[in-house]
Structure 1
Amino acid sequence: MNYSAAYETSLACFQQTSIEEIAQFSGYPVLDHQIQVNFLGQQFTVEHPSGRFEPEPQLEGELPIFARILILHYLANKSPASENGKFISYKELPGGGIYIQPFTNRAIRPMIQFFGERPERLIDVAKPMGGLPAKLGDAGVTLKVFPKVPVTLVLWGADEEFSASGNILFDGSAPEFLPTEDYAVLASFVVMTLKKYGEQINSADR
């Protein structure tokens, strides 16, 4: 998929948002027009208004363009809302029920395929990225992907009757911060990142 047009649109929205608004609403520290971003364990500054990332990603795998679009979308958001502590699934997001099957294929199934046999590994892999255990399922973990956007991954291991299963949950305030389609991309990227770290740990253990 060509994300170039979406990137240009997200950059324009970011540039139309003042640095004062970003400092007020994003939850990120701002110093001299530099926004200090922690994104899934990666540290960046985003310069305003240029939208330049430092260090500038050198390889697409380090911070794909769609991840930069998500970051710019979040930084341009001006909602004063806060987390409400209520879990909702993707199908409970506005219009989410229509796209639940693609969401399941892109995010939930890969999570189950990689972590389903040993759900406890999900917590271990997420910890270096700031993941905190959640008391859900056989293993659950919450990642603050953005300061106001937690994502909770839940797994149930297989037993004699049922195969492994899982879900990805959001805070009830989620619609205030990003459009529904962004949460599909976000959840998929979270799972992809966890899988990559998990594979690195497996290789180091051999």
Structure 2
Amino acid sequence: MAEERTSNYIKLCDEWAEKFLQMDKEELENAFEKLNGLRLPLGDVGYQIDAFSCEPMQFYFWDCDDEFEAQANILFDYSATDFNHVESAVSTAEMGVRRLAELAGLPLKGKAFGMS
């Protein structure tokens, strides 16, 4: 059961990555800038934003190419669990993606951002 949930979660993250990367990269970068994001040198688009003043999150987006599908990663600082329960990371990440989608002008539909 847990393996199935993980598989579904990874599939959903890949769908989010594709949805974000169908956008113009400048639009995505502008959304991060509105969140006072710090540009990072990795990924096609990479930024760090603060979920809280003590809890930075790093977002990395890679566009698809001939070898790899589009991919998105959200990373937390190792000290995140000093300030928040580890299970809260999923909620924090979801709210970060939701806010980013709103600022980027992506239509929100439940938790799937208007995707089928």
Query: Aligning the two structures, in what range does the TM-score lie when normalised by the shorter sequence?
Result: 0.7 to 0.9
C-alpha distance in structure 1 between counterparts of 2:28 and 2:103, whole Å: 10
SS in 2 for 1:179: coil
C-alpha distance in structure 2 between counterparts of 1:196 and 1:116, whole Å: 15
Deviation at 1:116, TM superposition (A): 2.2
C-alpha distance in structure 2 between counterparts of 1:156 and 1:106, whole Å: 15
TM (norm. structure 2) is 0.74
C-alpha distance in structure 1 between counterparts of 2:24 and 2:75, whole Å: 16
Alignment pair present for 1:114 and 2:19: yes
Alignment pair present for 1:177 and 2:83: yes
Deviation at 1:102, TM superposition (A): 7.6
After the TM superposition, list the runs of 4 or more consecutive aligned residues in structure 1 that deviate by more than 4 angstroms.
Answer: none
Could you list the runs of 5+ residues in structure 2 that have no partner in the other structure? 107-116
In structure 2, the partner of 1:142 is 48
Structure number, greater radius of gyration:
1
In structure 2, the partner of 1:101 is 6
The one of 125, 129, 135 aligned to 2:35:
129
C-alpha distance in structure 2 between counterparts of 1:179 and 1:155, whole Å: 26
C-alpha distance in structure 2 between counterparts of 1:186 and 1:144, whole Å: 11
Conserved in 1, the CA contact under 8 Å of 2:18 and 2:71?
Answer: no
C-alpha distance in structure 2 between counterparts of 1:147 and 1:117, whole Å: 31
* Structure 2 CA distance for partners of 1:119 and 1:106, relative to 1, 3 Å: farther
% identity of equivalent residues: 26
Aligned length: 103
Deviation at 1:133, TM superposition (A): 0.8
Could you list the runs of 5+ residues in structure 1 that have no partner in the other structure? 1-96, 201-206
C-alpha distance in structure 1 between counterparts of 2:87 and 2:11, whole Å: 12
* Structure 2 CA distance for partners of 1:103 and 1:154, relative to 1, 3 Å: farther
Q: Which amino acid aligns with 1:190?
A: G
In angstroms, what is the RMSD of aligned CA positions? Answer: 2.7
